[in-house]
Structure 1
Amino acid sequence: MNTLHVALGDRTYPIIIGSNASHAAEPLQKAIIGKTVLIVTNTIVGPLYAEQLAKTIRGLGKTVHIHTLPTGEEYKNLETLNTIFDTLLANQCDRKTTLIALGGGVVGDMTGFAAASYMRGVPFIQVPTTLLSQVDSSVGGKTGINHPMGKNMIGAFYQPQLVLADLSTLNTLPGNELSAGMAEVIKHGAIYDAAFFSWLEDNMPKLMAKDEAALTHAIVRSCEIKSEVVAQDEKEGGIRAILNFGHTFGHAIEAGMGYGAWLHGEAVGVGMILAADLSHRLGQLSATDVTRIQNLVKAAGLPTEPPKLGIDKMIELMKLDKKSDAGQIKFVLLEGIGKYKIQTAPKIILRETLRVCEVI
């Protein structure tokens, strides 16, 4: 097992990474405050892992309820969120009830938001079962739901008590979901660690083959990077915005196509390519580094071309990005691999980057 910590003073919490981490009884015992637990999962993950986790928790003397959400980004909305509250209330769950998110990013974001909101805040634990959620969404306390006009526009910063990243759950992960998670891994190297980016270039075949040693290193390093950034800026008032590299473009693609049409990581992969292109057009990133990013995204099995949503539509959707200021779109761009810069871009140059989105 590998243990890291997100250093947030009295709200510091551990991230435990390893095979069968979800059965680690001792950290679960410490993190579960009351006598009742609600496991929130989905229709794919639940049949695979929910009863195993429930058995471990019942062994600690806890009462366990299970709530199953429909699967997919298109269900990350207020209506589905309310079903979690329905189950909590139906079972007379109190303020000491612990929620456990067992699933990917959608389950984690929704369970965290439910925990932040129910009785104005109850404890919760993240048990991420996808690569994307293990390296990104389970760490840092971002919770929320989508609105038809924008992704993750309704939510709260609310930190978990514990993250258990169980590598064994990746054995049942479909190839496209593995690729989607790899987008966030690539992002961490691109913005923060040039040596890690180079390591990813050398080891992507092993990662895509689910080599355990390679995956462990990639997950641990990604969590280290995200933990360092979150510890400096918990609520995204400054440096934490760098974790959105590729996301301004990516979120626009997700919203424009309709949530669920593209996986989040697929949209982020293309978004990173667009962000690299814009960085190059602004004279900040070499053509060689643009190609390196394109090649690594492709090697991860991700799409490299955006959908033809149209330049104007992409710009309007990007204006809804949470980093936007008075209608000005702010981008996380690069000045080199591992060197970030948060800035605006002249509209004429942005439109050149977005020409690949033009409707033919």
Structure 2
Amino acid sequence: MKIIAEYPNPPQICRVIVQDGILQQIGRIVKRLKPSQVYVLTNTTLRKLYYGKLQESLSQAGFRVHPLLVIPDGERFKSLDSLRYCYDRLINYKADRESLLLTLGGGVITDLGGAVAATYMRGIKLVHVPTTLVAQVDASVGGKNGINHTRAKNIIGSFYHAQMILVDPQVLETLSQRHYLNGLVEVIKIGLVSNPGLFSFIQNNIDPLLQRQKKTLLKLIVSSIRQKLEITTTDPQEQGLRKILNFGHTFGHALETKSNYTKLSHGETVSLGMLVALKLSVDLKLANVKLLRMVQSLLQVAGLPTQIKRVDIRQIWEIMYMDKKAGYGRINFVLLEELGKPILRAVNFQDFKRAIEIIS
């Protein structure tokens, strides 16, 4: 399955290919971009699992295989220290402006790699090979990149599109169920804010999706990528429409930051964040409580968290105030009126405090 996305201002084409076994064909595919050199950024886990196949493919295509750029596995390594490490390695290897950075990994790797490629020599070629569901359907798609600060998630970054995104569903076979669910949450989110049909597909196929049935999962991946590309090509710089993709993330990112990216996964915090946003939607008389209960039920069936033991409400509020556009004591949340009808609404602390009860 091939998808071509055209981005305006500046004009750029991103080619997305979804295909089983594409990992072993990557050398031949990226050769079309005519890079002077290829550098691979991955983590310690993916290096053991998949780098051998990738290295063989690159060698067969005639590329000299440079030493890897490898960071430890985990969200807390999406940091300024890791960014500096990547710059140091590229400088040591004499990477030039025609070089290609190829990311092999999940959202941490694609986010970090995008930031490196966007800024090293003011921009080098970039190809993503996402290996988690969240990276395949969300993190690698749309050009956002970023790294975390100790006080806020993804606060440092830019928009920089990969020339190619090469998605191999086969690599999901080694993904833990917890990390698989991180990606499913993102597709649920996309369905809620922009595609009721996609949301219904998940509802009606939740069992085969949890079992990773190939045909069902492939349809989910392709549908989600198409939907996100439709949004991001319309609003590449997040000036309007694209903001709806922050649904559940305002609270979720703050909860991740509070836990120092160690206790809860990204998908788990977004699951909780979507419920908080839906409770706000109900409390502000924007949505019917049936919508909240329907989403809550789906998340529970999927095995995602719908409650948390303890939340420092005031501290979470302060982190959110830093992470998102805010002013006059209010924070902007993406809320829902109904399936596929999001709305941006400024929320005060008392409204937020009341909404937190849904997950307490």
**TM-score tier (shorter):** over 0.9
Q: Which amino acid aligns with 2:200?
A: S
Q: How big is each residue's C-alpha offset from its partner over 1:62-92, in whole Å with a ceiling of 9 and x where there is no partner?
A: 1222221100011111111211112111111
Is 1:23 the counterpart of 2:29? The answer is: no
Q: Which residue of 1 aligns with 2:320?
A: 318
Which deviates the most, 234-243 or 304-313? Answer: 304-313
Q: Which residue of 1 aligns with 2:50?
A: 49
Shift of 1:346: 3.8
Q: Which residue of 1 aligns with 2:339?
A: 337
- Give the Cα separation in 2 of the matches to 1:251 and 1:78: 18
Shift of 1:313: 1.5
Q: 1:180 aligns with which of 182, 186, 195?
A: 182
Shift of 1:216: 0.7
CA RMSD of aligned residues (A): 1.5
- Give the Cα separation in 2 of the matches to 1:227 and 1:92: 34
Shift of 1:309: 2.3
Query: What secondary structure sits across from 1:157 in the alignment?
Result: coil
The 5 A counterparts of 1:192-231 are 192-231=194-233
Q: How big is each residue's C-alpha offset from its partner over 1:7-36, in whole Å with a ceiling of 9 and x where there is no partner?
A: 2143111111121122334532223x3231
Q: 1:70 aligns with which of 69, 72, 84?
A: 72
Q: Specify every segment of 5 or more residues in structure 2 that has no aligned partner in the other structure, as ranges.
A: none
Q: Which amino acid aligns with 1:289?
A: L
Q: Is the 8 A contact 2:330 2:348 kept in 1?
A: no
Q: Which amino acid aligns with 1:48?
A: L
Shift of 1:326: 6.2
The 5 A counterparts of 1:40-119 are 40-65=41-66, 66-119=68-121
Is 1:349 the counterpart of 2:340? The answer is: no
Q: Which residue of 2 aligns with 1:12?
A: 13
Shift of 1:324: 3.0
The 5 A counterparts of 1:283-302 are 283-302=285-304
Shift of 1:267: 0.6
Q: How many residues align?
A: 356
- Give the Cα separation in 2 of the matches to 1:326 and 1:108: 35
- Give the Cα separation in 1 of the matches to 2:18 and 2:88: 32
- Give the Cα separation in 2 of the matches to 1:112 and 1:72: 17
Q: Is the 8 A contact 1:247 1:268 kept in 2?
A: yes
Query: What secondary structure sits across from 2:104 in the alignment?
Result: strand
Query: What secondary structure sits across from 1:159 in the alignment?
Result: coil
Cα gap change, 1:75 to 1:326, in 2 (>3 Å): farther
Shift of 1:357: 6.7
Q: Is the 8 A contact 1:95 1:119 kept in 2?
A: yes
- Give the Cα separation in 2 of the matches to 1:94 and 1:233: 31
- Give the Cα separation in 2 of the matches to 1:184 and 1:357: 19
Q: Specify every segment of 5 or more residues in structure 1 that has no aligned partner in the other structure, as ranges.
A: none
TM-score where L is the length of structure 1: 0.95
Q: Is the 8 A contact 2:133 2:180 kept in 1?
A: yes
Cα gap change, 1:268 to 1:339, in 2 (>3 Å): same
Shift of 1:325: 4.8
Shift of 1:347: 3.3
Query: What secondary structure sits across from 1:308 in the alignment?
Result: coil
Query: What secondary structure sits across from 2:334 in the alignment?
Result: strand
Query: What secondary structure sits across from 2:323 in the alignment?
Result: coil
Q: Is the 8 A contact 1:35 1:63 kept in 2?
A: no
Q: Which amino acid aligns with 1:63?
A: R
Q: Is the 8 A contact 2:329 2:349 kept in 1?
A: no
Shift of 1:348: 2.5
Q: Which amino acid aligns with 2:3?
A: L
Q: Is the 8 A contact 2:282 2:288 kept in 1?
A: yes
Is 1:238 the counterpart of 2:240? The answer is: yes
Q: Is the 8 A contact 1:330 1:342 kept in 2?
A: yes
- Give the Cα separation in 2 of the matches to 1:357 and 1:4: 38
Q: How big is each residue's C-alpha offset from its partner over 1:179-227, in whole Å with a ceiling of 9 and x where there is no partner?
A: 1111101001100111211111111111111111111111111111110
- Give the Cα separation in 2 of the matches to 1:210 and 1:345: 38
Identity across aligned pairs (percent)? 36
Q: Is the 8 A contact 2:4 2:16 kept in 1?
A: yes
TM-score where L is the length of structure 2: 0.95
Q: Which residue of 1 aligns with 2:146?
A: 144
Shift of 1:55: 1.4
Q: How big is each residue's C-alpha offset from its partner over 1:264-312, in whole Å with a ceiling of 9 and x where there is no partner?
A: 1111111111111111111111111101111112222211113522221
